Structure 1
Amino acid sequence: MAMRGMKTSEGWYVKATPSGEPYPLDSGLVPKFRKAGVTTLPGALQYGASVHGSKPCMATRQLLDRERIEKNGKTFEKLKLGEYTWKTYSEVQQLAVDVGLGVRVRGLQPLDRAVIFAETRADWLVSAMGCLQHRITVVTLYTTLTDSGIAHGINETEVPFVFTTYDLLPRVTRVLSQCPKVKTVVVMEDQLDGVGDVCSFPTNVNLVPFKELIKTDAKSASVSTPVPDAEDTAIIMYTSGSTGTPKGVELSHTNILASVVAYSVQMNVGLEDRYLSFLPLAHIMELASEIALISLGATILYSSPHTLTSTSPKVMKGTEGDAKMAKPTVMNSVPLVVDRIIKGVSQKVEQQGWIKSLVFNEAVRYKFWLEYIPFTSYILNLFIFRRVQQELGGELRRMVVGGAPLSPQTHDTMRAIFDISIQVGYGSTETASCTSGMDEDDIITGHVGGPNLGVLMKLVDWEEGNYRVTDTPNPRGEVVVGGIVVSKGYFKLPEENKAAFYEENGLRWFRTGDIGEINSLGALKIIDRKKDLVKLKHGEYVSLGNTESKLKTLSNVENICVFADSTKDKTVAVVVPSAERLWKVAASVGIDKDTVTIEELCADERVKEAILKELQSHGKKCGLTRWEVPAAVYLTLEPWTPDTGLVTAALKLRRKQLSHHYEHRVHDMYSRLD
């Protein structure tokens, strides 16, 4: 990996580029945007349409049938899906124009705001671009926010206009009584059921189907289109943070375009690439990535976590998953999804017998070293990994991972199985998702690369955690990010803005709260987080996030949250085990699966003891200290999903909620240890 920054005696780690230049290097989209005068997000779409007009831009899969199944008092949905259908770049641009005209004739004015509360889909991005073309700020809300969180975002931004979908309309309907300023709701229709049942929708709010919104008439001709300003607030992005009420982050066109340009350099994507989109567009990493892809002429195929693979929960038997149909060459992901992909692969291989499982695991283990022998990698892919690779379409060559730390073990395993380049990035909503990223040809794991194009970064001493920029052999400290990627701040939260943002030497800076270390090659490694650091009874510090990221690589663990009490000298953990592997653990301690339920297994002391021993052994192998490895565990099959409120939309643990939810269980574990 080439060094892309420098360390100074003050401990600064700075992007080595000329000062005063918003796009300082002539690479990626920089010269193209300059030549075309692109300074705003709709300008990027217009540029893409002007260059790639007849090329496929966005694809949506056909929904052929839907089946609803009742089981244990819950309703499960299975979908029969067909081929992908396309819209060209010119068609997407025209749709955005039509959306802009549609919202204007229904009363929205420049500098007004509109909420998008919708799943990731082509209409989401088209709606955002249509509003932005008329200087209308887009407010984004995660679909996994609670009803109170949705109402908070709508009311705080005082929006009169909400975009939603068929699936989410019932939730919007529920909160409208708490949102008196909303006058219009646009519904992106279901392919089979249109806007759905609207009997309970309030009569004082206009309900507009998306297809009706984009119909132009005589009124549209009288609408003038203002010119957006680069420093306008383009997006107010509400983050479902790990604590407290969702916060709206104000991002300008300039902030997001800086990320778009940086991604264009890092992603190395061309006209022939196909990108499979399933992460939330209400997450800045996904939004900036898709704008970059459109600017570069790639094709975006839309999916969802529920239909991604053939074994995804909403895929009807006999229907192929989206990845197999789309055959993507590029994907974005988050570590938890990567872990689930690997665990799913491992379970399928184990079902084929111990010999095949042994061969597969050894091939994964040694593939990195065997690649130095001519043709070995090709032979391994052909005879061992090819069938597994087909689960993601068989043509994937690059995956960008962000949102949380990716363990080196997961990184190496995913790269070996799917024979792809994995680029780990680091950022936050407050920095338009853009801080650092790995180079494509970097084979070293455990870090998040050097600063991205146009990003300034420095480390600042954190005395409480004993991290200093003078530490040897590598400087350590809180990561502070500066430059044009740093957002305007939190919407209507002046006190939090003072704590997190500041101006220095004409630049805006953001205190991330993450603790970083700079290695000898100039790459950043996230080693801790202020809020995750707990001092135990005898003075030892435990980094909860670091501990969890290592323990989660154990195949028996689906998810884990480590708890540390400052009055104790040990940690404990709540573990969501892999249900399938739990039966194998039970068999190993002499339990007959025909005599118990899986819920009873979780409460069985023999099973808990076996899982605990595996965790402790695995933790020691991963380099954890004796006080970091849990001394007790509680097993639960309760799902940790954004719907339960225990994790964020980006699948990060919400510690405050988990601590409250499992308060009595944690207390019981510590009581038994005393």
Structure 2
Amino acid sequence: MPSFKAYNLEKQSVEVPGTRTPGATGYYRHAAFADGIVRNIREAPQLKTFYDVWQNSVTLYADNDFLGHRPFNTVAQTYGGYTWETYRQINQRVSAFGSGIMHLNEVILGNDQLNRWSLGIWSHGRPEWFISEMSCNTYNLVSVALYDTLGPDAVEYIINHAEIQIVVSSANHIASMLENADKLPKLKAIISMDSLHDTVPVPGATSASQVLRAWGAQKGIKVYDFNEIESLGRDFPRKHIPPHEDEVASLCYTSGTTGQPKGAMLTHKNFVAALGSNREGMILTSDDVLISFLPLAHIMGRVVDSCVMYAGGKIGYFRGDILLLLEDVAELRPTFFPAVPRLLNRIYAKLVASTIEAPGLVGALARRGVAAKMANLAAGKGVHHALWDRLLFNKVKMALGGRVQVILTGSAPIAKEVLSFLRIAFGCVVLEGYGSTEGMATATITMADEYIPGHIGCPRAGCEIRLVDVPEMNYHSTDQPYPRGEICIRGDAVFKGYYKDEKNTKETIDSEGWLATGDIGFVDNRGCFTIIDRKKNIFKLAQGEYIAPEKIENVLGARCNLVQQIYVHGDSLESTLVSVVIPEPETFVPFANSIAGTSVILGDLEGISKLCKDPKIRAAVTKELEKAGKAGALRGFEFVKRVHLSTDAFSVDNGMMTPTFKVRRPQVAEYFKEHIKAMYEDIHNSTPAAKL
């Protein structure tokens, strides 16, 4: 089970003396590592690459169960329990698959054997994902994760940008690649993670695999299944080609905000540094069991998995359906549950409904129990209570299988009340981490016994942080009571740069190795950091997706003739967007009249104001914005879910626009804050609880 080192909660990080410069704070380091940050795995400094880490685990834990999944019974149409493969067995498959793709690339496709190349991986987490990635590390190749929510255009861009010739994919993505083969001139082979050796149900009929292979041949793309490549590798085995620590292990493409995704070049040194830094905070063991469902195209998921792998623990993958996740959790009974705020919010809502909001005696007892445990937590007395755990919360723990010792949340902020409730409800450590793709998701984390919510903790052992002035937003390192500024991080986990993108690399990393995050924060007297703003008008929704509101406003304003002015609002504690629209009278009035059956005329401000308040009209405008969003190729999470209509136009005079006629976002948000609040309340009240 996980263990944690005890640190001083009242002095979590310190500013290194003599490191202040004009316009910035000094360097803040974890208080226990003030003399120097961690740059490797201190207990195993000989491990320099991710390949070294894997071979170390194979040596130490060869016969331990490692990767598990729930096989699907095609006859019964049901999923079974978890089946496992050991570290030794997975290592054998890594060597076989790695040898197979090397033979495929050099002998079958005829590529130069001296060139390092990139392998695309497109699937949710499963054993074949790990085998594909570790094969790249074993044969000194570069893994490139593809991700569904980036959209087909982004996937096409990444395959071409990274010059990927071979993609390993779950079967459901093969057709889309073949359909777009003309746009993927580099793509030469697709390897299906799912078997293509299906039986022909009727004599003389054509199987799905035959269709795919024939379609691929027509497009000049060879189609194989995973087992075929492993078999090829066993027939033509290759010696391992250990990488160097400074070589790129993976290209991790960020979702971006405007323009195309950027490929962060993550080196072997980055992976080892992140692992070493995480090891200083939480020590996992071979007894630990992880439920792996975070997207492995995002670096947080891979860092978490690698921490368990290094410790010799077990990784059980979910089935790929987030709505069935808790069924997988109940079957696996993990000890380690990494998550994102959106999921934890759903769990919180379900628990609240069944406890403190429950009717009768159950609700009354739950409210007393929650109050008692919250009081203990606020007083720094921990998350356990002998009486209330026995009466109530031991049953609550079963929602996550009953064995969870650690919940880790990241990728977006989580509300204070949710964090505290989860701590006392599950009686376990709940950690909140902060980081970015460019820094291996390893910048700050809260301490295990933290009882004050609302911040992102202190620097990791392998990271140092400083705050840099942002004068145009009135944030300064000299601010009182606490220094404020852009959060910049430095350490061996910071990436090498963006692939084929020197301009953005230089804008993101300075000559001293400081990574500019774009997040504005402050550091308090305990040495804890809190994020308060973004340097640019970019933010994350609760599920971790970046939003560029001005881009969305431009799309909707250009494509919906009902709009005179529009402001799109999002909140990192919410998963959806809402908007304030100032209608264009000439088009809005007849449109609204046709819906409401009224005869308001242009110039009738009172009549137009009444139309704006009509729920049917607001709903109709929302649908028109949805049409505009689809026409403008917005992604699903970029659509606005509610609209407030107003005749109070944004202007320079009322302070809601600049002299150059740009919207002053904070001022608009403040002016319409009650309406924004009401829109979110309406969303919450009208959305049925999602099935967990």
TM-score range, shorter chain: 0.7 to 0.9
Give the letter for the 1:202 counterpart.
Answer: G
Q: Is the 8 A contact 1:439 1:449 kept in 2?
A: yes
1 CA distance for matches of 2:416 and 2:625? Answer: 27
The 3-state SS of whatever aligns with 2:516 is strand
**Considering only aligned residues, what root-mean-square deviation do their CA atoms show, in Å?**
3.7
2:39 is matched with 23
Give the letter for the 1:302 counterpart.
Answer: Y
1:422–1:545: structure 2 CA closer, same or farther, 3 Å change rule? farther
Aligned pairs for 1:176-195 (under 5 A) are 176-189=181-194
1 CA distance for matches of 2:393 and 2:313? Answer: 27
Q: 1:455 Cα deviation (Å)?
A: 0.9
1:387 is matched with 395
1:587 is matched with none
2:351 is matched with 345
User: 1:298 aligned to 2:317?
Assistant: no
Q: 1:353 Cα deviation (Å)?
A: 3.1
Which of 469, 477, 499 is the equivalent residue of 2:507?
499
Q: 1:532 Cα deviation (Å)?
A: 3.7
1:145 is matched with 150
Q: 1:363 Cα deviation (Å)?
A: 2.8
Give the letter for the 1:291 counterpart.
Answer: S
Which of 212, 221, 225 is the equivalent residue of 2:228?
212
Q: 1:275 Cα deviation (Å)?
A: 0.7
1:495–1:472: structure 2 CA closer, same or farther, 3 Å change rule? same
1:18–1:449: structure 2 CA closer, same or farther, 3 Å change rule? closer
Aligned pairs for 1:354-433 (under 5 A) are 354-370=360-376, 377-433=385-441
Q: 1:30 Cα deviation (Å)?
A: 2.0
1 CA distance for matches of 2:648 and 2:396? Answer: 43
1:376–1:166: structure 2 CA closer, same or farther, 3 Å change rule? closer
Pairs aligned (count) = 555
Q: Is the 8 A contact 2:444 2:459 kept in 1?
A: yes
1:561 is matched with 577
User: 1:238 aligned to 2:253?
Assistant: yes
Q: 1:254 Cα deviation (Å)?
A: 0.5
Q: 1:226 Cα deviation (Å)?
A: 2.2
2 CA distance for matches of 1:501 and 1:564? Answer: 37
**Structure 1 length-normalised TM:** 0.74
Q: Is the 8 A contact 2:444 2:456 kept in 1?
A: yes
In proportion to residue count, which structure has more strand? Answer: 1
Q: 1:637 Cα deviation (Å)?
A: 14
2:454 is matched with 446
Aligned pairs for 1:607-622 (under 5 A) are none
1:399–1:519: structure 2 CA closer, same or farther, 3 Å change rule? same
Structure 1 stretch 173-182 or stretch 514-523: which is displaced more? 173-182
Q: Is the 8 A contact 2:568 2:580 kept in 1?
A: no
1:13 is matched with 27
Give the letter for the 1:55 counterpart.
Answer: N
Q: Is the 8 A contact 1:239 1:247 kept in 2?
A: yes
1:329–1:140: structure 2 CA closer, same or farther, 3 Å change rule? same
User: 1:58 aligned to 2:72?
Assistant: no
Q: 1:172 Cα deviation (Å)?
A: 2.5
2 CA distance for matches of 1:45 and 1:361? Answer: 47
The 3-state SS of whatever aligns with 1:300 is strand
Q: 1:634 Cα deviation (Å)?
A: 7.2
Give the letter for the 2:42 counterpart.
Answer: V
Q: Deviations over 1:115-140 (max 9, x none)?
A: 11111111101110012211111111
1:273 is matched with 288
2 CA distance for matches of 1:171 and 1:217? Answer: 27
Structure 2 gap ranges (5+): 1-8, 107-112, 200-206, 540-566, 583-611, 627-631, 651-670, 673-692
1:70 is matched with none
Q: 1:445 Cα deviation (Å)?
A: 1.1
The 3-state SS of whatever aligns with 2:72 is strand
Q: Is the 8 A contact 1:63 1:192 kept in 2?
A: no
2:276 is matched with 261
Q: Is the 8 A contact 2:197 2:209 kept in 1?
A: no
User: 1:41 aligned to 2:50?
Assistant: yes
1:268–1:374: structure 2 CA closer, same or farther, 3 Å change rule? closer
Give the letter for the 1:510 counterpart.
Answer: L
Which of 95, 98, 101 is the equivalent residue of 1:100?
98
Aligned pairs for 1:412-491 (under 5 A) are 412-491=420-499
Q: Deviations over 1:401-446 (max 9, x none)?
A: 1101112111011112222211111100011111111121222211
1 CA distance for matches of 2:494 and 2:447? Answer: 22
The 3-state SS of whatever aligns with 2:477 is coil
1:226 is matched with 241
1:548 is matched with 571
Q: Is the 8 A contact 2:96 2:234 kept in 1?
A: no
User: 1:321 aligned to 2:313?
Assistant: no
1:383–1:510: structure 2 CA closer, same or farther, 3 Å change rule? same
2 CA distance for matches of 1:123 and 1:102? Answer: 14
Which of 83, 88, 91 is the equivalent residue of 2:81?
83
**Structure 2 length-normalised TM:** 0.73
2:605 is matched with none
Which of 302, 307, 310 is the equivalent residue of 1:287?
302
The 3-state SS of whatever aligns with 2:403 is coil
Q: Is the 8 A contact 2:288 2:335 kept in 1?
A: yes
2:680 is matched with none
Q: 1:166 Cα deviation (Å)?
A: 1.8
Q: Is the 8 A contact 1:407 1:549 kept in 2?
A: no
